Amino acid sequence: MHPLLHSPSRRTLLRAAGAGAGAAALAAAAGCGSSTAASGRTRIRFLMNKPEVVDHFTDLVARYNAEQDDVLVVLDTAPTSVLAQFVRGAPPDIACYNFRIEAANLVRAGVLADLSDLPEAAGIDPAYQDLVTQFASYQGQTSALPYSIGTAGMIYNVDLFEQHGVAVPTTWSELLAACETFTAAGVAPFMNTYREVWTLAQGMFDYTTGSGVDVAAFHEGLQALGADAGPDAEVSFTRTLGPAVERMVQLSQLDNPDAPSLTYYDGNLRFGRGEAAMYFQGPWALGEIVKVDPDIRLGSFPLPVTDDPAQARARVNLDLALWIPRETERQEAARAFASWLLRPDVVDTYNADNSAQSPRTGAPPLADERLAGLQPCLDEKRIYQGISTYVPDSIPVGNYVQDAVLSGDPERLLSRLDTDWQRRARRAAA
């Protein structure tokens, strides 16, 4: 059943949980135990599933536990299915979790508490709160609060741009002119890696479609069609995304010639060596690139695919969002910790330290100067969630994009997406 087409039942959650349920129950028992610690404090289990920031949250939990005597927070970073934990009746008391389809299913199923009464909820920028509801909502409630906004755009080599007198492009025409300059100078305009298809889905496919169409409106239109979705519908991949995907294939002809054989790590290595001017990757690649050349100068910009600069948008995602299960018996303690996590000095510091945007209204801008070129998009809320994130894993969008850039045929990519989406929509309606 398509998780974005139908509300999951308990049976659906059971199927999704699968064999990992037993492990989740064990993790819950080990991480939380009784609700009251020996000290008399209310003990809550805090799930955080982003492994690269475990140290940061370990320090935060220790700091919170030291600042007050009512709540004892136990950090749980075990990589077990959160759906399985709900199925077994042992979810965490509070979570700071990547907001993807799995988390959206929890919202849609109505198993998360309404957090609209938290004072800090009013301080979340509405544009970032809307990122939650673009995936899922439940009876108009505030089921999850954004905590960290990841922002991505085209990475570029500042030195190569300066050496060849190329300005950061703001329109499609300027982008093509920049590519002509680099090609004439013997520099590959783009670094790309076809061997790992996720890099194509999150990179050039999301970037070109995100700056070419209103992704949220497109997805909403698909959802409204239900079983009537298909290539001939008023809203379809073929009709709506056609021009943007054609330009994606056009840009792929300017990639590094060995792109089909390269992995993500190969791309980081090659780009770090200065073998291309631009790279279809986001901030997650910056740290790997500077390992190759600590002195490399990098920047980022939103990929323009039209000649209207205002249509160029930054790709964003809810890297972390806070939520509390509806049925936890430790609501008060969990809410107190959530409020503390959303204190400006806590949430803003986390995001500054991790090259992300704080979701608060009036929060500081991106601290990483390599992402400064994306800040105008954030300020003006020219943002979108990548279209690939709306497509379930059972539809191999990355493989379809790979075929499109290798064959030069954008129509087959769009036709496959329409067919697969229509098939799932009809199954959901049956």
Domains and CATH numbers, the chain: 10-148+318-368 (3.40.190.10), 152-315+387-429 (3.40.190.10)
**pLDDT surpassing 90 at residue 17:** no
* pLDDT, tens only, 219-274: 999 989 998 998 999 999 999 999 999 999 999 999 999 999 999 999 999 999 99
* pLDDT the model gives residue 35: 65
Q: What is the 3-state secondary structure (H, E, C) of the chain?
A: CCCCCCCCCHHHHHHHHHHHHHHHHHHHHHHHCCCECCCCCEEEEEEECCHHHHHHHHHHHHHHHHHCCCEEEEEECCCCCHHHHHHCCCCCCEEEECCCHHHHHHHHHCCECCCCCCHHHHHECHHHHHHHHHHCCCCCCCCCEEEEEEEECEEEEHHHHHHCCCCCCCCHHHHHHHHHHHHHCCCEEEECCCCCHHHHHHHHHHHHHHCCCCHHHHHHHHHHHHHHCCCCCCCCHHHHHHHHHHHHHHHHCCECCCHHHCCHHHHHHHHHCCCEEEECCCHHHHHHHHHHCCCCCEEEECCCCCCCHHHCCEEEEEEEEEECECCCCCHHHHHHHHHHHCCHHHHHHHHHHCCCECCECCCCCCCCHHHHHHHHHHHCCCEEECHHHHCCCCCCHHHHHHHHHHHCCHHHHHHHHHHHHHHHHHHHHC
What is the reported pTM?
0.86
* pLDDT, tens only, 33-81: 456 665 789 999 999 999 999 999 999 999 999 999 999 999 999 877 8
Taking residues 113-142, report their average pLDDT: 95
**pLDDT surpassing 90 at residue 14:** no
Taking residues 370-382, report their average pLDDT: 96
Q: Give the rounded percent of residues in the chain with a pLDDT score beyond 90.
A: 81
**pLDDT surpassing 90 at residue 430:** no
* pLDDT the model gives residue 147: 98
Mean per-residue pLDDT of the chain: 90
* pLDDT the model gives residue 36: 66
* pLDDT, tens only, 333-352: 999 999 999 999 999 999 99
